[in-house]
Amino acid sequence: MILSDDRELARLNAEHMGEDGPTDVLSFPLLPPSAFPPHEGQRSEFSTARPIEPAYQPPARHRRHLGDIVISAERAVAQADQGRGGQTGDITWSPTDELRLLVVHGVLHICGWDHADPGEREAMRALEREVMGRG
């Protein structure tokens, strides 16, 4: 995980997502979503797929690198200070809690969770709340 600022997130957002401007968190998974067991927060085209064994197999006794997460600490602090936190933009809490949520959100993306459609979004938000102790 990398803590950065709005400038870097804006560059990465344009380069990798084709979006203008900064965002709070970007995830770069190394494994396909089908490498994880099916779950309700997974895009529909992957939810019925049988998990596959990833092509990369680390040597025994090594941890598997699942991907990278880049968070704009600058955006997290601003969102918390302005009461626009919680991924829904309506939660007022500390910058620390906002950073914790962005880590959780990024990890879920790394593990194949998405929020492109309402069902996925509802499932992902519910798990975020549970992990954050707000469920």
Q: What's the token pair of residue 20?
A: 């203008």
The greatest distance separating any two alpha carbons of the chain, rounded to the nearest whole angstrom, comes to 47
Per-residue HEC secondary structure of 67-105 comes to EEEEEEHHHHHHHHHCCCECCCCCECCCHHHHHHHHHHH
pTM for the model: 0.83
| Annotated domain spans of the chain | 2-49+67-131
> Is domain 2-49+67-131 annotated with CATH 3.40.50.970?
no
Q: pLDDT tens across 69-122, in order?
A: 999 999 999 999 998 888 778 888 999 999 999 999 999 999 999 998 999 999
**From edge to edge, which strands make up the β-sheet containing 67-72?**
2-4, 67-72, 25-29
pLDDT digits (tens, 9 = 90+) for 15-59: 999 999 999 999 999 988 888 888 888 765 544 444 445 555 656
